Amino acid sequence: MKKSLMMFALMVCLAGAANAEELKKLSLDDASVIGTSIQADAEVKVEGTGSIKIATQWPTTVCLGEVADLNVEDARLIFQARVKSELSGTAFLEMWAHVGGGQYFSRGMNDVVEQTTDWKSIQTPFVFEKGQKPDKVTLNIVINGTGTVWIDDVILSKEPLK
C-alpha cells in the first residue's frame, strides 16, 4: 500500500512539473547579474587594512556575521559600525536576536546614512531583560536603495540596564 501511494505521489509531482510554465530563468554564469557585489576595499577605510564595499543595483540585506555565547542578560546590546555611502536611498544596521527558538529584531532606522555621506558612526540597540539570554545574534546592514556602501570598524558592545 505504501509503495503504491508513493508511486501515485511521484506521478502527481511529475505531471505538475510538466504543466508548469517557466516565467523567467536566471543564468548565474556571470555573478554581475545578481546586482550586488561585496568586496574588500584596501583604499577606503577607517581603521585596519580595509573596509567592506557593497555595491548594489537594488535594495538588499547583507549579513555581516553571527555571534554566539553572549552574556548579555539584563543589559543593552549595541551593534555599531562606521559607514560611508554613495546611495540613492538609505542604509542602516539591523540586529536579529535568536532567543529560545524565537527571532526578534532591532533596526536602526533612526540612525542611517543616505545619499553621499562621509564616514559616520551608526548603531542599533537591543535590550535584554533579566532572564533573557540570546542563543546568538545576527548582524546585518540593510540597504534601501541603490549605490555603494562601505562598512568598517564594526563593534558589538553591552551596557548594563539602569
Distance CA(64)–CA(100), nearest Å, equals 22
Q: Which CATH architecture has domain 35-160?
A: Sandwich (2.60)
Distance CA(91)–CA(146), nearest Å, equals 10
Measuring CA to CA, which residue among 158, 157, 139 is closest to residue 52?
Answer: 139
Distance CA(55)–CA(140), nearest Å, equals 15
Q: What is the largest CA-CA distance in the chain?
A: 68
Q: Kindly list the domain boundaries of the chain, sorted by start residue.
A: 35-160
pLDDT tens column, 47-70: 889 999 999 999 999 999 999 989
Per-residue pLDDT tens digits of the chain, which is 162 residues long: 556 655 555 555 555 556 788 887 767 777 776 788 888 889 998 888 999 999 999 999 999 999 998 988 889 999 999 999 999 999 999 999 999 889 999 999 999 999 999 999 999 999 998 888 899 999 999 999 999 999 999 999 999 987
Q: Give the rounded distance of the alpha carbon of 2 from its chain centre.
A: 43
